[in-house]
Amino acid sequence: MSKNGNGHKKYAPFFGCLISTKHSQFEAAVRRTMPKLGAELVDLEGFSCCPDPIYYKAADKLDWLTLAARNICIAEEAGLDLLTCCSGCTSTLREANHTLKHDAELRGKVNARLKIIGREFTGTIEVRNIAMIIRDDIGYDAVAASVTRPLENFRVAIHYGCHLLKPGAVMAVEDPAQPEILQRLLAAIGATPVWQTKHLSCCGTACQNEDMKTEIMRDNLAEFAALDVDAVGLICPTCFDQYDLGQLQISRKYQTKYEMPILYYFQMLGLAQGFTPEELGLQRHKVSAKPALAKLGLS
């Protein structure tokens, strides 16, 4: 973050591969809603994949740290904190930043490679997920103040996903066993967060065993469907794929038909701020968002 005299907040957004390509509706939602919270997004040039915290990290951790450090260097050179919108990018960039700030040996190895391209990791910025930035720099009250169309009587099953919160010592958002950040964000736009047994569960995407992945998804969806909710709310594009596209796969494999709208938090914030469903790309989802929009009187 960079603040000038009147408290103006500036961040370098890092949208990452999935949001900027397959799920650009989430990028649109973030770009439209953040200015209404008094935050300016300053686009920087040259970011690559974060890189991917599952398979890239699984191939070579030093390559993974080095490419992550290069992305962090770009923000350091601009003097801006990184704002991440994807839990995968959050995982990679926040962990890499933490590791390289605390482990001199690894920092030495990474900087020896970065020197080849004339860059250096100096540890001068923070990497934070957008939800954490809103809580800490902007405040839930400012979110509530930006709302022109509260999502009244709109019941949302929360899915935290793993990498906003864990590992707790590295991500340092709040206790991963008892988080409240998403409930507070939903309450700020007038929606009703609905507690359920799967709210902290893993979506299963990163598991290489396809049967296990599908079974995890099936059980989580069954839990959501058993609740009286209007949508599942989440903040991670990977979890989104697992539940949006995943519902079609589950319907085919188990002949259990689900029609559960899956919404990214910033799409819901955008609706509450008065943007149209089209401006937030809500017509793009595999599972129609129409029932949720109808509940809000928007279709």
Partner 1 sequence: MVKVSFAFKSTIDAMIGGAGHSLCFQCGACVGDCPAAQYSTRFNPRQIMLDAVLGLADRLVTEDSVVWECTNCDNCFDHCPQDVRPVEVILALKNMIHQAGLSPKNVAPLLHSVATTGCTVAVSELINRRRRELGLPELVRPPVDELQKLLGDKKS
DSSP state of 208: S
Q: Which of 47, 224, 266, 275 binds partner 1 (CB under 8 A)?
A: 47
Closest CA to 282 of 28, 18, 15, 17: 28
Residue 13 lies near partner 1 (rule: CB under 8 A): no
Taking the complex as a whole, the smallest distance from the CB of residue 216 to partner 1 amounts, in Å, to: 6
Among 58, 145, 172, 226, binds partner 1 (CB under 8 A): 58
Q: Which of 7, 116, 141, 228 binds partner 1 (CB under 8 A)?
A: 116
Q: Would you state the structure tokens that stand for residue 139, as one six-digit string?
A: 């405040």
Nearer to partner 1 among residue 153 and residue 283 (C-beta): 283
C-alpha separations of 90 from 61, 68, 81, 107, 109 in Å: 16, 11, 13, 19, 22
Which segments of the chain are extended strands (E)? 2-3, 9-14, 39-41, 82-84, 127-129, 155-158, 192-194, 231-234, 262-264
134 makes contact with partner 1 (CB under 8 A): no
Stretch that binds partner 1, among 6-14, 16-24, 78-86, 137-145 (CB under 8 A): 16-24
Of 13, 179, 193, 204, the residue at the interface with partner 1 (CB under 8 A) is 204
**Measured from the CB atom, is 145 or 212 closer to partner 1?**
212
**12/162 Cα distance (integer angstroms):** 23
Pairing of strands 2-3, 262-264: unpaired
Residues at the interface with partner 1 (CB under 8 A): 17-18, 20-22, 24-25, 27-28, 31, 43, 45-49, 51-63, 65-67, 70, 106, 113-114, 116-117, 162-163, 166-169, 176, 201-202, 204-209, 212, 215-216, 279, 281, 284
